[in-house]
Structure 1
Amino acid sequence: MGVLSRRGVLGAMAGLTGLGLVGCGRSGTAGPGGRPVRFAWWGNDYLNRQTQAVIDLFTSRHPDIPVAPEPGEWGSYWDKLATMTAANDAPDVINMDQKYIAEYGERGALMNLREAAGLELSTIDEQALAAGSYTDQLFGISTGQNAYTVVANPRLFADAGLDLPDDETWTWDDYREAATKIGKDSGGKIIGTAYGINEAYLIIWLRQRGEQLYTADGGLGYRPETLIDFFAELYGLMDAGAGPAAERYVEEADASLEQSAFGTNRAAMTWYWTNQLGSLEGTSGSDLVQLRPPSRTGRAADNGLYYKPSMFWSLSARTERRDQAITFLNFLINDPDAAKTLLVDRGAPINRATRPAVEQALRPVDLESLRFLDGLAGEIKDAPPVPPVGSSDVQNVLKRYVSDVFFTRLSPEQAADQFTTEVQGMLDAG
């Protein structure tokens, strides 16, 4: 028998729920409060230590509510969570990603936090709450927000005799010309720009044209010709020598930050989330600058940027420790000392009540990133619709078609048509 896919496991959830099957739950060190609140998240060693520190802080104040940590790694986290959820054995407090909010929420696996008695939401940014909502129910509280931006290495610009671009006026032509000059002047030793291809990159491209990747009712929200232009523009960047050739693109897509061209000072620009500036500077050993994306018009207000939740805290709809789980979640999102412990590694604060405590504890580089994010507020008008059920693998599909265009296995027209057909099929299958 083959391994059941994550989607297949999720599909089994409805049947388990309908039959009323209840898992026996997991045992843990109960302590004085009975069975512990199970708390699952993904992260690296640094995030694991940070998260354990906030657990310790909580239990020092609430010795009657023990918390059982269940850390994981991104690659295996979702298959494990899907299996546990299908078996009615989900953790009580769940680290959730926007890709899966709709899938888990629609299938009844997540609590509607609007109905979580005692959970204080009055000081949390409404746009951040909307990002965790689906079908008018709140399934996740954002851990913090980010924006997807260009990061530049000023030293490599200076080596090419270029000033850093004015990110309030630069266009895609300016972006391509600067990247091409850097690549050619270095004889190919320096990449002008890494592509940074993901859903956010595509969403920004579409929003600059008044379109969206997804519609509010769960469909696709772009015109075919816009997607053709997207693939053609990327191929043009590669063909001009502004970014890596096809083979190197594939290598970069799989490289860790420590091995990447930008992380090793061999690329002048890349695309990253704002909260990762500190990691980028620490890895590269260089002073870096964040820039707004280029626009079609040369106006910052038209650059398509949006605030994206880094991730979410959610609660299992079938938790047997509802009150205790709500108390812990309330601590995570509203306690100033918890905010000072978690800082901005999971995104910029979305709670105005805890933000001052976070700012006082930040390193200069993280405070710089936070100020940059603040400066975007006047340009960001709205947020894209929440990704619908069936869309969780679209990012990998997009990268595959970009690769096909780079290797000339498909034309931009063919890639756009096949991408749309494949993604529509994923959404229809749900």
Structure 2
Amino acid sequence: MLNGERHRSRLLAALAAALLMVLTACGGSGGDDGGGPVELRYSWWGNADRAELMQQAIAIFETEHPDIKIVPNFSDFAEYWQKLNTESAGGGTPDVLQMDFSYLREYGDRGLLLNLDEVENPVPVNDLLPGLQQAGVVGGERFAVALSGNTWGMIYDPAAFQAAGVAIPERWTWEEYGAAVTQVARTAGMAGAWDYTSIMGVFEIWLRQQGKVLFTEDGRIEATHEDLQRFWQQGVDLRAAGAFPPQDKVAQALPVTVMGADLAASTVNLDSMLTRYAGESERKLALGALPSSNPDDLGLRLRPGILLSAFSGTDHPRQAAELIDFMVNDPRVGEIFGGNRGLPASNAQREAATPKLSATDAAVAEYENTIAQYLTVPSTLPPAGVGTADSAFLRINEELAYGRISVQDAAAQWFNETEAALR
């Protein structure tokens, strides 16, 4: 079995490499010499399926812009950032590149990203959903434009809750959710919930529901040690009640998720994760509103999923902006990709993508429509170093799950590591 998996992985890698060669050939090798088309290096993360869709979009762009040839490059998420760090250190940053919200300030502060409002024809953002129009702005400069967006929700197995006699209300508090998933765990043959206290993003939402923030605009931690201790104590108590799956089972299931391995009846996570969970499990899963102890504020924001940026040192800023505009706003791109890159950020692309959405992507779109009134406030730009804080949050909470550290010591460790990362 393992040999078969290795063979499959090698085959997929070979196919991806072959497709990349085709993409590069289609992008052309002509440069500015002799008055030929200019070349734009365009990098993104994703798999071979996304690259195939990307080539369809690139073909349309190149047909309508014969003066521009795209030289594409793609890799998986982890490799993408390793490669980009190497390229940026050596001055070889791509002309156009996918950007993640967590890394935006870091690359912007390093002077690596072009201000897209200062190019000859600025990228229009007026058709983006209201909560995404300011995404990509750092210190008044637009270093990126949102390509897609998502938000948080509760993903659950309706059958498991029904079997436990637990009704799903339109809204419930965290205390009610904790009691419900504890009840489900007693009857469902699985845990009631995945450990939501392991996710820093959920902690941030939990704080917003109380009128607080995790990080300030200038990159300081506003939350207190007591805030984090109260949040993590929820996880300790729910795990003791049997509501969360044992940590060793979670580790054994990897790389399959807890929901995919049928270890839990629900989870609090990004709504776009519904598609992944549905692909891993035979269960019929649904989306519901996030728990909140404040009925007037769910603490939700429309979070940029993928953004597009241009290199500050590009020789072709106008053409780079044209490509970004096309990828973000052209309805034909939305029709090609559907929900492959998440739900599109622009209204025109969302409308064009709707007929091509999978059943799970359509469920995500419907869910976001039901909570649209909560998604108009832009997400706060994460400070540089937030990636380290996020990783530390997950790692330290795992120590809590194994019972190797106290809540007080866990909170102190996270604050120490995060404060060092944000300096």
Aligned to 2:8: none
Shift of 1:142: 0.9
Shift of 1:356: 2.2
| Correspondence 1:124-273 to 2 at 5 A | 124-163=128-167, 165-166=168-169, 168-186=170-188, 189-196=189-196, 197-251=198-252, 255-256=254-255, 259-273=256-270
SS in 1 for 2:227: helix
Shift of 1:230: 0.9
For the 8 Å contact 1:404–1:410, the answer to whether it is kept is: yes
SS in 2 for 1:191: coil
Partners of 1:45 and 1:159 lie apart in 2 by 40
Matched residue type, 2:186 = K
Matched residue type, 1:418 = Q
Match of 1:385 among 367, 377, 380: 380
| Correspondence 1:347-358 to 2 at 5 A | 347-358=342-353
Aligned to 1:414: 409
Shift of 1:279: 3.3
- The C-alpha deviation readout for 1:398-421, integer Å capped at 9, x for no partner, is 011111222222211111122112
Shift of 1:381: 5.8
Note closer, same or farther for the CA distance 1:104–1:144 as it changes in structure 2 (3 Å cut): same
Matched residue type, 2:373 = G
Match of 1:59 among 62, 82, 88: 62
Partners of 1:31 and 1:404 lie apart in 2 by 54
Partners of 1:124 and 1:228 lie apart in 2 by 38
Aligned to 2:84: 81
Partners of 1:141 and 1:126 lie apart in 2 by 13
- The C-alpha deviation readout for 1:74-107, integer Å capped at 9, x for no partner, is 1211111011011111001101101110010011
Partners of 2:383 and 2:102 lie apart in 1 by 8
Aligned residues: 393
Partners of 2:202 and 2:183 lie apart in 1 by 23
For the 8 Å contact 2:389–2:414, the answer to whether it is kept is: no
Aligned to 2:28: 29
Aligned to 1:16: none
Q: TM-score, normalised by structure 1?
A: 0.85
Task: Pick which of 80-89 and 172-181 moved more.
Answer: 172-181
Matched residue type, 2:395 = R
CA RMSD of aligned residues (A): 2.2
Matched residue type, 2:193 = T
Asked if 1:93 is matched to 2:96, the reply is yes
Note closer, same or farther for the CA distance 1:318–1:94 as it changes in structure 2 (3 Å cut): same
- The C-alpha deviation readout for 1:303-333, integer Å capped at 9, x for no partner, is 2121111021110111122222122111111
Segments of 4+ moved more than 6 angstroms:
none
Note closer, same or farther for the CA distance 1:319–1:350 as it changes in structure 2 (3 Å cut): same
Asked if 1:374 is matched to 2:373, the reply is no
Task: Pick which of 36-45 and 242-251 moved more.
Answer: 242-251
Note closer, same or farther for the CA distance 1:275–1:407 as it changes in structure 2 (3 Å cut): closer
Q: Which ranges in structure 1 are unaligned for 5 or more consecutive residues? A: 1-25
Shift of 1:227: 0.9
Aligned to 1:295: 292
SS in 2 for 1:117: coil
Note closer, same or farther for the CA distance 1:271–1:251 as it changes in structure 2 (3 Å cut): farther
Partners of 2:378 and 2:224 lie apart in 1 by 19
Partners of 2:46 and 2:388 lie apart in 1 by 20
Q: TM-score, normalised by structure 2?
A: 0.87
Shift of 1:130: 2.0
Match of 2:277 among 251, 275, 280: 280
For the 8 Å contact 2:171–2:290, the answer to whether it is kept is: no
Note closer, same or farther for the CA distance 1:393–1:412 as it changes in structure 2 (3 Å cut): same
Note closer, same or farther for the CA distance 1:381–1:340 as it changes in structure 2 (3 Å cut): closer
Partners of 1:206 and 1:273 lie apart in 2 by 17
Shift of 1:242: 0.4
SS in 2 for 1:151: strand
Task: Pick which of 41-50 and 132-141 moved more.
Answer: 41-50
Note closer, same or farther for the CA distance 1:158–1:235 as it changes in structure 2 (3 Å cut): same
Match of 2:311 among 312, 316, 330: 316
Aligned to 2:394: 399
Matched residue type, 1:128 = L
Shift of 1:35: 4.8
Partners of 2:222 and 2:134 lie apart in 1 by 19
For the 8 Å contact 1:150–1:292, the answer to whether it is kept is: yes
Partners of 2:387 and 2:73 lie apart in 1 by 23
Match of 1:334 among 323, 329, 334: 329
Partners of 2:177 and 2:214 lie apart in 1 by 23
